[in-house]
Amino acid sequence: GAVVSQHPSWVICKSGTSVKIECRSLDFQATTMFWYRQFPKQSLMLMATSNEGSKATYEQGVEKDKFLINHASLTLSTLTVTSAHPEDSSFYICSARDYGELFFGEGSRLTVL
Amino acid sequence: QKEVEQDPGPLSVPEGAIVSLNCTYSNSAFQYFMWYRQYSRKGPELLMYTYSSGNKEDGRFTAQVDKSSKYISLFIRDSQPSDSATYLCAMMKETSGSRLTFGEGTQLTVNP
């Protein structure tokens, strides 16, 4: 199946700093990618839909100014957590669609101290 | 009320047992139903995908959808220790543009 790669897989940062997470579709082009957040022992919650060449669509309750999404090419979407705080510590997962099937990245674990 | 309800478990079974995992949902607009397996600290991987009501079998896995009851199931036959993971149900509406709604996930342990 198609491969979606995330980087970094784990990042630790200080409170107040910004962190960028990359999501790449390695062997296919994705006009749409999705960003999810998963807290421990909880389900995946959709944060936003990333659209290549246009603004992302955010789910209700997700701060667009805090979670900046850029989808500059057909194979790369980035999520930047700005001014991160400990409550932003979570597992961030992206997914991309290839011929109707969704493929998920391995996830990026963010720990904010 | 959550749109998708799933018993989080944990569920512990002996090797070789038949495992039954279930989800209920409240929104009749869901048309596509998926089961994902997620190992610890990894992204989910698709196990089964069904459209509307019916059964689908793939090896040791069988997915069932009962739209009249708003109830879906995943059965695992001859369970193996390697099946130990969290199983997430997910659903999608016809017009959602691939936006998935996930259940909480059921943590399964298969003991050798």
- Taking only the tens place, the pLDDT of each residue in A21-34 is 999 999 999 989 99
**N-to-C CA span, chain B:** 37
Q: B17-37 pLDDT, tens per residue?
A: 999 999 999 999 999 999 999
Residue range B71-97: mean pLDDT, rounded: 93
Q: Do B43 and A97 touch (CB under 8 A)?
A: no
Strand ranges in chain B using DSSP code E only, listed in sequence order: 4-6, 11-14, 19-25, 30-38, 45-51, 54-58, 61-66, 71-76, 85-93, 101-102, 106-111
Tokens of B92: 């999608």
Pick the residue from chain A with its C-alpha nearest to B9. A41
Scan for tokens 């944060």, then name that residue.
Answer: A47
Tokens of B112: 């050798």
Q: Do A6 and B49 touch (CB under 8 A)?
A: no
Tokens of A6: 């995330």
Buried b (16+ CB within 10 A) or exposed e, A13-50: beeeeebebbbbbeebebebbbbbbbeeeebbbbbbbb
- CA–CA dist B108, B81 (Å, integer): 10
Chain A residues with CB-CB distance to B46 below 8 A: 101-103
Q: Do B97 and A91 touch (CB under 8 A)?
A: no
Q: Do B100 and A46 touch (CB under 8 A)?
A: yes
- CB-CB: which of B43, B101, B104 is closest to A107? B43
